[in-house]
Amino acid sequence: MNGKKSSSRDRKGLSRTHILWALLAVFALSPAISANLQPSRYEGGRVKDEADIEARNTSAFALILGEIRANVSDLLFVKTELYLHSGVAYMPHLDYGEMAQTGEIEHRPAPTEDREPGTEFDFERHFREHQEEVGIVDHDDHDDEHAPTIIPPARQDFRGFIGELHRRVKPWRDPALAHIHTDGRELLPWYRLMTLSDPHHIRAYMIGAWWLKAQRSETQRKEAMRFLDEGVRNNPTAFQLYLMRGYMHNEDGNIELARDEFALAARHAAEQRPSQGPQHRDWTDYMEDDARGAVRMHVLLERELRNIERAIELSREYRAAMGEAVGFLNRIERDLEAMLEEE
Amino acid sequence: MGEKRPIVEAKDLVVEYGKGSRKVRAVDGISFNVTEGECVGFIGANGAGKSTTIKTLMGFLFPVSGTVRMFGEDCGTVESRRRIGYLPEVALYYPFMKARELLELYGGLQGMTKHELRERIPELLNLVGLQGKGEILLRNFSKGMQQRLGIAQAIISHPEALIFDELSSGLDPVGRHDLRRVLLDIKNSGKTIFFSSHELTEVETLCDRVIMIHEGRIVTEAPVSDLMKPLNLFEIVFSMQDGNTLPESVERLGPARDGNQYRLSINDVELYSRVVHELSQAGAAIHSTSSKSRSLEEYFIELVKSSGNEEGAA
Amino acid sequence: MTPVWLIARSVLIEAVRRKEIYAIVLISTLLIGAVMTVDFFNLEGLTKFYREVALQVMSAATGLTVIVLAARQLPREFENRTIYPLLAKPISRLTFLLGKLLGVMLAAAFCYGLFMLVFILGTFYLGGEIPVGLFLQFLYLQMLKMLLLAALSFWLSMVVNLDAAIALGVIFFFASSVMTNAFTLLYPFADPFGQGTITVLNYALPQLALLDLTEKTVHSEFWPPLNLGTMFALTAYAGFYILVFFGAAWYCFRRRPL
């Protein structure tokens, strides 16, 4: 009788063990399972109009999980800010100026001869600065050096000794002092997670690729291009990513490849740009800058490839499509016509 | 021989549960003593207030009024508990511990040293019939085994007094027999024992004195020998023949008359012998004699009922 | 062996034998491992990311373990009636409660010890370094935090039922970690009444964020260990709340009918 009892107990124990192992196996295999879920098919989160919202709300699953994915991705974006500033938490100031600090506006520079003085971001200077930053520097000409910290300085803090302890326990610097910037290398895992969480987080692809490129190694440069390729696969109409790829090919001296990327970027940008431009709710100044950059680079690279007539033709097309937004094309077009006459 | 010191002294003890309109008086002004070397049984029906009284003695519950002292100390103090071994009504022990570890825990809390415990634990396990079970996790112990272990933990440090709430609950007949043997040994060594039980045979066997409680009040308190006297009942059915008269001593006992037959119930064996002798001398025809043993339980039920009737009359 | 140690030892034996801690450590380790298997652009030596993920997961897992373990100590004793034979022994209720608290802390230390083993092995595997000074301070403050959580959970378990005690403990654990920043962010936007309320809450509520050195430990190349004065102040700060919560738990337990 005892024997029977113990064997039934053994069987029970075994079945529980099996369940545990099965759960562990499922857990271990979960990356493979999730990899097959085709995350790029998720379209929620970053909606542009009511039709998008409507489409998103047709599925409760997409509604709940979709929001979480986008929100997690945004939270991870904030995490990169902390890592950039060696853990010091500054007030959210991720405006476009700040994006430039983290490299997102790298694509903006026009070739030096076409830059309109005072209107464009000095990419070359900024890139040099960031090159210095790779290796941790304390620089004092940072645009956001007066951004307030989340933990206020004693003079602005109502919390007395608790505020003092808070400043000592957490990474904190007086906001009046220059920021400490870190090697962007440690930021990179967060960009990877950001885009895994939300494959439509275009800025994450762009900035992540910039930091990868900033590592100054051939391997990381290739990784940056792969990262952008993945971004394009997941977001085939994201003109900003074509633009980034164009810049990278251009830097590598692959002018024709770069031209093709700029052409795609400019085409998508022209298609997507609303007639009101940045006045439209969903078209930011930042997108406007990118669209202008794509158009300009496409025209200039056609010129560089000595397709002057094609360059003039494109300039006219873009002016017709985008109007005043690409007013700078007037001057380029005049130069092109002069070149054509000379030939 | 000097007067024995009181171990437990309860005076006008009142214990209540609940608050406001839900307040229930579980113990209603009871007073009793247990003196050194005594074995006292505390009996009563479910809900009579036995466990409440014992929990109050141990300091688990707090009286509304009245006092309880143990070894001259207020109940519930660390000092008062140092000399007591206690077995709770429902004994559950940490299922994740081995029997030996549990006894080490309780012995340690009683202030025993590791060396003392090393010697005492095997001896104790043997005493309660758990020899060789010291390394088994308690989750694998049956209810009876847990109860035996409970007894072991109660007596681990040779306490001066034992307080057991529902002595043999969960034990099989063999376990009960073993426990009785252990307790008799403890009693014979002069220790004080106070326990509640539903098993009145245990009370009969072990106790010097019994306290019966009903609805929070003590209904009787007497030595077991006194209580056992009225428990045997003899009945004589007889008739007086040829004009013989009923002896005066028998008439005083108030026999019931049915026609020419008398029926007399007597609960004292000596009196019964004397009456039979007198009736024979007086020429009575004795038709039948019978003896009937009542249990302590029946007696207790009768007492409870009569206590209820008295209350109703009052 | 003192009674406090004996009671604590029984809690530790339970924690070690019930296998829940191993499950938590295993799941957390797998989680950390799963995150580390993501291909981070063929970059090696990304120790900050590893440190951050590992320390956050470990802190959260240990915090939750402590809350559940501490909250269920007394209700389980009442429910299973194991408290009767224990309190029948010559120990005071304060001793019993202290033993339980020490036991929960030993279990937390055991849990943290297992985590640290995983963490240190992982760090060496990645070729990283551990900032010893900051890391020891981090561990010390974590233990203070766990002690505070345990004391709070004891008190909660005396005033509400077990499920509610665990739920409230967990809410407090997560809310307290963010409330410190929330106070500073909300204050400028509040009206005078709101500012007064925030000020009172700032001083009244224990702020677990003050006992969390994770960020400095992650970005350790920039931040030296805290000075002794700060460590003393933090100990006093945590000690005050530990005494308040433990005192409240004892006050409720002291005369509780069993």
pLDDT mean across residues, chain A: 74
pLDDT tens by residue, chain B, 314 residues: 457 788 899 999 999 888 877 888 888 889 999 998 899 999 888 888 888 999 999 989 999 999 999 888 888 888 888 889 998 887 688 999 999 999 999 999 999 999 999 999 999 998 888 888 989 999 998 888 888 898 899 999 889 899 988 877 767 777 778 778 888 888 888 889 998 887 777 787 788 888 988 888 888 888 877 776 666 678 889 888 777 888 888 888 888 888 888 998 887 777 888 888 888 888 888 888 887 666 666 677 777 676 655 554 44
Based on the domain organization, do B161 and B270 belong to the same domain?
no
Write down the pLDDT at residue C237.
96
Based on the domain organization, do A105 and A188 belong to the same domain?
yes
Domain end point (choices B228, B246, B275): B228
Task: Count the domains in chain A.
Answer: 2
Based on the domain organization, do A207 and A100 belong to the same domain?
yes
Based on the domain organization, do A150 and A273 belong to the same domain?
no
Write down the pLDDT at residue B259.
83
CB-CB contact of B256 with B163 (8 Å) = no
Structure tokens at B213: 């409680």
Based on the domain organization, do A193 and A325 belong to the same domain?
no
Tens-place pLDDT, residues A189-198: 888 888 888 8
Rama region for B236: left / alpha / beta (φ>0; ψ in -120 to 50; rest):
beta
Based on the domain organization, do B269 and B289 belong to the same domain?
yes
Cα(A69)–Cα(A78) distance, integer angstroms: 14
Based on the domain organization, do B247 and B129 belong to the same domain?
no
What is the tally of helices (H) and strands (E) in chain C?
10, 0
Q: Where are the alpha helices (DSSP H) in C132-227?
A: 132-159, 162-186, 192-204, 214-218
Q: Which residue of A has its CA nearest to C45?
A: A186
pLDDT at residue C246 above 80?
yes
Domain end point (choices A175, A199, A223): A223
Span A196-201, mean pLDDT? Answer: 82
pLDDT at residue A294 above 70?
yes
Write down the pLDDT at residue A329.
86
Domain-embedded: residue B216 = yes
The residue assigned the tokens 């301070």 is: C137
Of C42, C49, C185, the CB nearest to A223: C42
CB-CB contact of B166 with B198 (8 Å) = yes
Domain-embedded: residue A250 = yes
Write down the pLDDT at residue C144.
96
Q: Which domain holds residue B140?
A: 6-228
Distance between terminal CA atoms of chain A?
Answer: 107
Q: Which residue of B has its CA nearest to C255?
A: B62
Based on the domain organization, do B224 and B239 belong to the same domain?
no
Task: Name the pTM for this structure.
Answer: 0.76
Task: Give burial (CB, 10 Å; 0-12/13-18/19+) of B286.
Answer: middle
Of A4, A182, A10, A11, give the one whose Cα is nearest residue A87: A182
Of A162, A192, A220, the CB nearest to C38: A192
- Chain A CB contacts of C211 under 8 Å are 169
Based on the domain organization, do B235 and B224 belong to the same domain?
no
- Chain B CB contacts of C76 under 8 Å are none
Q: C88: distance to nearest CA of chain B, Å?
A: 6
Based on the domain organization, do A207 and A81 belong to the same domain?
yes
CB-CB contact of C112 with C63 (8 Å) = no
Domain-embedded: residue A81 = yes
Note whether C86 contacts B: Cβ–Cβ < 8 A: yes
Tens-place pLDDT, residues A111-150: 333 433 333 333 344 334 433 333 333 444 444 446 788 8
Write down the pLDDT at residue A92.
63
Based on the domain organization, do B176 and B262 belong to the same domain?
no
**β-pair partners for B209:** B40, B223
Whole-number percent of chain C with pLDDT over 90: 59
DSSP state of C233: H
Of A162, A168, A192, the CB nearest to C40: A192
Strand arrangement of the beta sheet that strand B261-266 belongs to: B256-258, B261-266, B232-240, B284-293
Q: Which CATH number is B58's domain given?
A: 3.40.50.300
Based on the domain organization, do B244 and B275 belong to the same domain?
yes
Selected for mutation to probe chain A from C28, C35, C129, C184 (highest A CB count within 10 Å) is C184
Of A28, A186, A223, the CB nearest to C48: A186
Cα(C135)–Cα(C220) distance, integer angstroms: 9
Span A271-296, mean pLDDT? Answer: 86
For residue B267, give the 3-state DSSP assignment.
coil
Write down the pLDDT at residue A219.
83
Q: Which domain holds residue A110?
A: 63-223
Tens-place pLDDT, residues C171-205: 999 998 889 988 988 888 888 998 999 999 999 99
Domain-embedded: residue A54 = no
The predicted complex's ipTM stands at 0.90
Domain-embedded: residue A4 = no
Note whether C78 contacts B: Cβ–Cβ < 8 A: no
- Could C84 and B96 be called an inter-chain contact, meaning their C-beta atoms sit closer than 8 Å? no
CB-CB contact of C35 with C201 (8 Å) = no
Selected for mutation to probe chain C from B94, B98, B115 (highest C CB count within 10 Å) is B94
Based on the domain organization, do A250 and A308 belong to the same domain?
yes
Write down the pLDDT at residue A45.
52
- Chain B CB contacts of C87 under 8 Å are 58-60
Angle, CA of A240, A245 and A250, to the nearest 5° = 125
Q: How confident is the model at residue A43 (pLDDT cuts 50, 70, 90)?
A: low
- Chain A CB contacts of C216 under 8 Å are 87, 169-171
Span C106-117, mean pLDDT? Answer: 91
Task: Show contacts of B154-158: CB within 8 Å, 24+ apart.
Answer: B154/B85, B154/B86, B154/B87, B154/C85, B155/B85, B155/B124, B155/B182, B155/B186, B156/B85, B156/B103, B156/B106, B156/B107, B156/B110, B156/B112, B156/B120, B156/B121, B156/B124, B157/B85, B157/B107, B157/B110, B157/B111, B157/B112
- Could A168 and C226 be called an inter-chain contact, meaning their C-beta atoms sit closer than 8 Å? yes
Q: Calculate the CA B184 to chain-centre distance.
A: 14
Tens-place pLDDT, residues C72-97: 999 999 988 889 999 999 999 999 99
Domain-embedded: residue B37 = yes
Please tell me which chains touch C, using 3 or more CB pairs under 8 Å as the contact test: A, B
- Could B58 and C87 be called an inter-chain contact, meaning their C-beta atoms sit closer than 8 Å? yes
Selected for mutation to probe chain C from B98, B109, B147, B169 (highest C CB count within 10 Å) is B109
- CB count within 10 Å of CB C244 equals 15
Q: Calculate the CA B204 to chain-centre distance.
A: 8
Note whether B78 contacts C: Cβ–Cβ < 8 A: yes
CB-CB contact of B265 with B233 (8 Å) = yes
Write down the pLDDT at residue C23.
86
User: Does A164 or B205 have the greater pLDDT score?
Assistant: A164
Q: A183: distance to nearest CA of chain C, Å?
A: 11
Span A212-223, mean pLDDT? Answer: 83
Based on the domain organization, do B90 and B157 belong to the same domain?
yes
Of B219, B306, B207, give the one whose Cα is nearest residue B30: B219
- Could C84 and B111 be called an inter-chain contact, meaning their C-beta atoms sit closer than 8 Å? no
Domain end point (choices A223, A255, A275): A223
- Could B86 and C18 be called an inter-chain contact, meaning their C-beta atoms sit closer than 8 Å? no
pLDDT mean across residues, chain C: 90
Q: Which residue of C has its CA nearest to A211?
A: C41
Q: How confident is the model at residue A95 (pLDDT cuts 50, 70, 90)?
A: very low
Chain A interface, Cβ < 8 Å to C: 24, 27-28, 30-31, 82-83, 86-87, 89, 136, 150-152, 157-163, 165-166, 168-171, 180, 182, 185-186, 188-190, 192-193, 196, 212, 215, 219-220, 223-224, 227
pLDDT at residue A336 above 60?
yes
Domain end point (choices A201, A223, A245): A223
Tens-place pLDDT, residues C34-76: 777 776 776 766 778 888 888 888 899 899 999 999 999 999 9
Q: Which residue of C has its CA nearest to B93?
A: C82
Based on the domain organization, do B54 and B92 belong to the same domain?
yes
Write down the pLDDT at residue C68.
93
Write down the pLDDT at residue A66.
62
pLDDT at residue A67 above 90?
no
- Chain A CB contacts of C195 under 8 Å are 158
Strand arrangement of the beta sheet that strand B73-74 belongs to: B24-35, B6-17, B65-70, B73-74
Half-sphere exposure of C253 (CA within 13 A, CB side): 27
- Could C10 and B78 be called an inter-chain contact, meaning their C-beta atoms sit closer than 8 Å? no
Instruction: State how beta strands A180-181 and B84-87 pair.
Output: unpaired
Based on the domain organization, do A81 and A179 belong to the same domain?
yes
* Residue numbers of C between 3 and 32 with CB closer than 8 Å to B: 3, 6-7, 9-10, 13-14, 17-18
Angle, CA of A49, A288 and A304, to the nearest 5° = 135
